[in-house]
A and B are shown apart, each in its own frame.
Chain A
Amino acid sequence: MFKCSIDSLDKIFAEISKNATVYLPVDNDDGKAVYTKWENGVKWSNELNTVKSLKDFFFPQVENLMEFKVEGKNIEIKDIRTESEDFVVFGVRACDVRSFDILDRVFLVEPCDSYYANRREHGVIISVACTRPSETCFCNTFGIDATSPNGDITVWKTEDALYWNANTEKGKALLDKLNLDECDDSAVNEQKAKTAEIMKRLPLASLTTENFGGGKTDELFNRPEWKTLSESCLGCGTCTFVCPTCQCYDIKEFNNGNGVIRFRCWDSCMYSDFTKMAHGNNRLSQVERFRQRFMHKLVYYPENNEGIFGCVGCGRCLAKCPISMNIVKVMKTIGGND
């Protein structure tokens, strides 16, 4: 374990910046924490709960895949993939780090998504242990320890110092370059205990997944509560787009007159034109679409992924849903542990 003072952070960022772009949560003009590129003078926000998740760095909202041109019967295809630059993201919460376990299981299994893999290879995640969780936090429900996040490097913050520990080779290589002072973990343990105490007091601390998981499809699919829960849902994509684990995308084409750009962009299962097939849409009503989102996270995903749930309890959808419908309300109603 290594230690540095909070004041020396800028020096550290400057050091990392020599070889890679650094991103970290910075307050924007509305006072909301947003991942921003570090430059001299850019200050780390005290807030870890960013508006959008880290997902964007590895799986951007819009991404060009290829270009092609058709003339007569000839198709000229242009591979526009480029090697990603090295980058480091600092200040990632435990829940957001966990989201990559979920995304990796989708994108990195064969056939591997080379666009995503490329960015994963070049990205280093430096997590920071939570000290001030929000009332909307429920990572605990999914077995995440907010006080000991994963990531290539884990950082703990106390009043005046930061404690660094590398978890991966990539992390270790980076940490070695920083030449920090070595130290023991007593301060970190003290901080962990303090945070753990707070975690117990969170309003959603008792939320459990006991009635969800693989194999629950038959039991939950036809529950009448889906209808009442979905009744207020607007069918917008806010929850999907702020979610760190939602990974659905649509592939579209843009014809600029001189050629076609094939790109992908995020899609939402809440949208009426989601996964349109030859026969049209396979989920015609909002109830079906609403159910899909939650069944996927809480039943289908764990069923296919050794019981791992598709939600990390980051709480963004709780904060952002225009009509305050969210996964917690669904779990409590459908799971019956209200």
Chain B
Amino acid sequence: MQRIGVFVCWCGSNIAGTVDVEAVSEALKREPGVVFSTNYQYMCSQAGQDIIKDAIKEHRLTGIVVCSCSPRMHEATFRKTAAAAGLNPYMVEIANIREQCSWVHKEMPIGTEKAIILGKAAVAKVNLNTPLTPGESPVTKRALVIGGGIAGIQTALDIADAGFEVDIVEKKPTIGGKMAQLDKTFPTLDCAACILTPKMVDVAQHEKIRIFSYSEVSEVKGFVGNFDVTIKKNARYVKEDLCTGCGLCTEKCPMKKCANEFNLGMDTRRAIYIPFAQAVPKVATIDPDNCNMLKNGKCGVCAKVCTAGAIDYTQKDEYIEEKYGAIVVATGFNPISMDKFDEFAYNQSKDVITSLEFERLTNAAGPTAGKLLRPSDGKHPETIVFVQCVGSRCDACAEKGKEYCSKICCMYTAKHAMLTRDKYPDTDVYVFYIDVRTPGKNFDEFYRRAVEEYGVHYIKGMVGKVSPEGDKLIVQASDLLADKQLKIEADLVVLAAAIEPDKSARSLATMLTASMDTNDFFTEAHPKLRPVESPTAGVFLSGACQGPKDIPETVSQAGAAAAKVIGLLAKDKLVGNPCVAHSNEMMCNGCSSCERVCPYGAITYEAKEFRMPDRTTLVRRIAVVNPAVCQGCGCCTVVCPSGAMDLKGFANEQIMAEVDAICK
């Protein structure tokens, strides 16, 4: 029989406001096995934990129930408390009487009654708990960073600087990501390339970093400390080790009319190309959709001009298997498609562009060599209208757009407006906004400068319609403060499109078994306390894949993720989760059902000799669970017809005891 202590937390008034904590601790005192029951203002505080520790020692408790907030919040805390008092940490159960009781029920009698029942269920479970000892598993001291934008670059550099090997997998032919496409950065207006490219070079030259560019992750197996990852290196038809990046091929290739994705299709490149001058690795890539040689075997110019002999038309996709201890997701973002926003005429007029396109139009390495010219006719635009919140802050039920604020648009629009007025003072610049959101160091000052020093017209109101008329764009909008409807004849309209996670993130999340929110942003393990970790152990988050972010925020998160990875890789062994499956060999039929559903391959079979009552021996096939590999989902326990397979910590008996207590 257990000796159980019950500790009811008030959580200030968070629990005590709706639950009569005194009544709960009194009621639970009468439950079988309970020898001590009390309540306290904040159980998680030092004083609260001391109450628990003292009670464990004084009453020789063999198990404790803490009625408090969600176990996702403080289960670990109270397990440590128990361990400190010499009690096995797995003899602790939490009754969630805050998130699932006091916070959702308003009336004291109802909250109290439910809290008592939840407490009884926890007591019933602890009565059947057994002390558990976690197993250990080794750590592969290498990290994988998925995505080679500024987030991935910074994470990789920080991890590598700590002395661990890092591989970066980048989908595109070069690392650099969105930041490489930007012109200047707010609020300091330093040139993006000037601050990014040195970091790209650092990555390229770092002895601990390998770059798999033009590659994707195709399979992830294993678990924290021991991931087995398959990387698909797409055929680029150029031998990376031989190509010197001289660029001769990219000048001689006869296929000139390929849309240049780096400039968002606003100019062209050849079928063999290097995305931009500072690309890393600086290696050419053949675009198989446009290359004549690859499509019909006629051409071969690049091979002829390549003095290094790097061209290889027969190259195949290559699969590389690597082991890692930690994985960082840094898959970044993309602007959303403007296809559904007919009212802004994006698909009708070349002169309606997105902000990222505007970024290229003003970039010295862009399609116009940095001159702000209209895409349609190459003329200098005299009136420019910037529209904010295109697709951001939309209703969840709306078919187009995103519910969240994309966070970066206010600032980059201010930057665009300011830079335009700075370079072309004769230009009229209007910015239509709903709210201008500028929380950040020097952000509001920056926005005010755009208005006050640069004379950008900020108008509170939204553009209702853009209609191309002749070579002009008629922008119909409301000016809410003046209570007027405006019609502006603009030459260029720039849409601050909402940003969304990269499309590859969803399938990656599935591979990693990392969870995502409804918008496909990766979910953090805790929004406040563990913002750079995924709930899946060993998977970390860096940059905009977790939520909209500007560059400084991305870089700080990248550093934070790196610190977490370093903390993990610095360990020699990981202490596992002891709540794993185990098979009762006397009852096991050896039928293989459990093996078939195990997602981790944690179950194997062995022939075991049994001594029979008549003194003969019998060899039977039985299942054996590898506790280091088992992650404790419990799927096997249900397919096992004999019930031989059970899950420690969540045993059949324990769950049924909870059911009984709840339904009592």
Which residues 274-292 of A have a CB within 8 angstroms of B? 284-285
Q: A316-327: contact bitstring with B at CB < 8 Å (1 yes, 0 no)?
A: 000000000000
CA–CA, A70 and B32, complex, Å: 9
Decide if B663 is an interface residue (CB 8 Å cutoff): yes
Q: Flag if B613 contacts A284 (CB, 8 Å).
A: yes
Q: Which residues of B contact A70 (CB under 8 A)?
A: 32
Given A285-B613, A285-B614, A257 and B30 contact (CB-CB distance below 8 Å):
no
Q: Is A79 an interface residue (CB 8 A)?
A: no
Cβ distance B637 to chain A, nearest Cβ, rounded Å: 22
Set of chain B residues within 8 Å of A72, measured between Cβ atoms: 30
Q: Which of B30, B663, B664 contacts A71 (CB 8 A)?
A: B30
A258 within 8 A of B: yes
B613-A258 in contact (CB<8A): no
Interface presence of B660 (CB below 8 A): yes
Does B660 lie within 8 Å of A257, measured CB to CB? Answer: yes
A257 x B614 contact (CB < 8 A): no
Q: How far is the CA of A256 from the CA of B664 in the complex (A)?
A: 7
Q: Determine the chain A residues whose CB is within 8 A of the CB of B614 once the complex forms.
A: 284-285
Q: Which chain B residues border A71 with CB–CB below 8 Å? A: 30
Chain B: CB-nearest residue to A280: B613
Chain A residues with CB under 8 A of B451: none
Chain A residue nearest to B120 in the complex (CB): A257
Chain B at the A interface: SS class: loop
Hey, what's the 0/1 contact readout for B629-664 against A, CB within 8 Å counting as 1?
000000000000000000000000000000011011
Q: Which residues of B contact A257 (CB under 8 A)?
A: 660-661, 663-664
Interface residues as binary, A63-78 with B (CB distance below 8 Å gives 1, 0 otherwise): 0000000111000000
A258 contacts which chain B residues (CB < 8 A)?
A: 664
Nearest CB in chain B: distance from A286 CB, A: 11
Q: How far is the CB of A334 from chain B (nearest CB, A)?
A: 21
Chain A nearest CB from B660 CB (Å) reads 6
How distant is B260 from chain A, measured CB to nearest CB, in Å? 72
B663 contacts across to A, CB distance below 8 A: 257
A65 to chain B, nearest CB (A): 22
Beta-carbon contacts under 8 Å, A249-290 to B: 255-258, 284-285
- In the complex, what distance in Å separates the CA atom of A256 from the CA atom of B660? 8
Complex-state Cα separation, A255 to B614, whole angstroms: 37
State the CA gap A285–B613 with chains docked (Å). Answer: 8
A257 to B663, CA, bound (A): 8
A257–B123 alpha-carbon span in the complex (Å): 13
- Interchain CA distance A229-B613 in the complex, whole Å: 20
Q: Per-residue CB proximity of B15-45 to A under 8 Å, as 1/0?
A: 0000000000000001010000000000000
In the assembled complex, which residues on chain B have CB atoms less than 8 Å from the CB atom of A256? Answer: 664
Residue of A nearest to B662 (CB): A257
B613 contacts across to A, CB distance below 8 A? 284-285
CB-CB contacts below 8 Å: A192-211 with B:
none
- Nearest CB in chain A to that of B661: its residue: A257
Q: How far is the CB of B59 from chain A (nearest CB, A)?
A: 16
Q: A257 vs B32: C-alpha distance in the bound complex, in angstroms? A: 11
- Nearest-neighbor residue (CB-CB) of B614 within chain A: A285
Chain A residues within 8 Å of B661, by CB: 257
Residue of A nearest to B664 (CB): A257
State A93–B32 Cα separation when bound (angstroms): 52
- Interface digits, B452-473 against A, CB 8 Å rule (1 contact, 0 not)? 0000000000000000000000
Q: Tell me the bound Cα distance from A285 to B612 in angstroms.
A: 10
Distance A258 CA – B32 CA, assembled complex (angstroms)? 12
A255 to B656: give the CA distance in the assembly, Å.
13
Shortest A75–chain B CB gap in Å is 13
Give A68 Cβ to nearest chain B Cβ, in Å: 14
Q: How far is the CB of B120 from chain A (nearest CB, A)?
A: 9
Distance in angstroms from A195 CB to nearest chain B CB is 49
In angstroms, Cα B612 to Cα A284, docked, is: 9
Nearest chain-B residue to A255 (Cβ)? B660
Whole-angstrom CA separation of A285 from B616 in the bound complex: 13
Residues of chain A with a CB closer than 8 A to B32's CB: 70
A158 and B660 CA atoms in complex are apart in Å by 59
- Return chain B residues, CB-CB under 8 Å to A284: 613-614
Q: Which of B32, B613, B660, B663 has the most CB of A within 10 A?
A: B613
> In whole angstroms, what is the CA distance A24 to B142 when docked?
82
A37 CA / B459 CA spacing, docked (Å): 90
- What is the chain B residue whose CB lies nearest that of A283? B613
Name the residue of chain A whose CB is nearest to the CB of B124: A257
A70 to chain B, nearest CB (A): 8
Q: Who on chain B is nearest to A257 by CB? A: B664
Instruction: Give the nearest-CB partner of A71 in chain B.
Output: B30
- Min CB–CB distance A274 → chain B (angstroms): 15
Question: 1/0 contact trace for A45-72 toward B, CB 8 Å?
Answer: 0000000000000000000000000111
- The answer for the CA separation of A71 and B27 in the assembled complex, in Å, is 13
A336 to nearest B CB, angstroms? 26
Give Cα A258 to B664, complex, Å: 7
Which A residues touch B660, using CB under 8 A?
255, 257
**Roughly how many angstroms separate A283 CA and B331 CA in the complex, as a whole number?**
66
Q: How far apart are the CA atoms of A284 and B32 in the complex, in Å?
A: 36
A255 to B30, CA, bound (A): 17
Residues of A within 8 A of B30 (CB): 71-72
User: Smallest CB–CB gap between B653 and chain A, Å?
Assistant: 13
B663 nearest CB neighbor, chain A only: A257
| Docked CA distance A71–B664 (Å) | 15
- Once bound together, how far apart are the Cα atoms of A72 and B33, in whole Å? 9
Q: How far is the CA of A135 from the CA of B30 in the complex (A)?
A: 63
Min CB distance, B626 to chain A, in Å? Answer: 31
Among residues of B, the one whose C-beta sits closest to the C-beta of A287 is B614
Kindly report which residue of chain A lies nearest to residue B660, judged by CB atoms.
A257
B33–chain A nearest beta-carbon distance, Å: 11
**How close is A69's CB to chain B, nearest CB, in angstroms?**
12
Q: Which chain B residue lies CB-closest to A288?
A: B613
* Smallest CB separation, B185 vs chain A (Å): 65
How far is A33 from B453 in the complex, measured between Cα atoms in Å? 104
- Which of chain B's residues has its CB closest to A70's CB? B32
Residue of A nearest to B30 (CB): A71
Q: Tell me, rounded to whole Å, the shortest Cβ–Cβ distance linking B337 to chain A.
A: 57
Q: When each residue 86-120 of chain B gets 1 if its CB lies under 8 Å from chain A and 0 otherwise, what string results?
A: 00000000000000000000000000000000000
Closest Cβ of chain B to A146, distance in Å, is: 43
The interface bits of chain A over 105-130 (1 if a CB of B lies within 8 angstroms of the residue's CB, else 0) are: 00000000000000000000000000
A118 to chain B, nearest CB (A): 33
CA of A257 to CA of B662, assembled, Å: 10
Q: A161 CB to closest chain B CB, in angstroms?
A: 58
A72 to B30, CA, bound (A): 8
B113 to A: closest C-beta gap in Å: 16
Q: How far is the CB of A272 from chain B (nearest CB, A)?
A: 11
B664: chain A residues at CB < 8 Å are 256-258
User: From residue B24, how far is it (CB to closest CB) to chain A in Å?
Assistant: 19
The answer for the CA separation of A256 and B614 in the assembled complex, in Å, is 40
A222 → chain B, closest Cβ, in Å?
Answer: 14
Residues 260-298 (chain B) with a chain A CB within 8 angstroms: none
Q: Which residues of B606-630 are within 8 A (CB) of A?
A: 613-614
Q: How far is the CB of A231 from chain B (nearest CB, A)?
A: 15
CA distance A258 to B31 in the complex (A): 11
- Smallest CB separation, A203 vs chain B (Å): 37
Q: Min CB distance, B128 to chain A, in Å?
A: 14
Chain B: which residue is nearest A258 at the CB level? Answer: B664
A288 to chain B, nearest CB (A): 9
Minimum CB–CB distance for B516 against chain A, Å: 40
Shortest CB distance B168–A (Å): 58
**Residue of A256, A257, A258, A285 with highest tally of chain B CB at under 10 A:** A257
What are 9 sample pairs from A and B whose C-beta atoms fall under 8 A apart?
A70-B32, A71-B30, A72-B30, A255-B660, A257-B660, A257-B663, A258-B664, A284-B613, A284-B614
Q: Which residue numbers of A lie inside 8 Å of B, CB to CB?
A: 70-72, 255-258, 284-285
Given contacts A70-B32, A72-B30, A257-B663, 11 further A-B contacts (CB under 8 A): A71-B30, A255-B660, A256-B664, A257-B660, A257-B661, A257-B664, A258-B664, A284-B613, A284-B614, A285-B613, A285-B614
9 A-B pairs with the lowest CB-CB distances in the bound complex, closest first: A257-B664, A284-B613, A257-B660, A258-B664, A285-B613, A285-B614, A257-B663, A71-B30, A257-B661
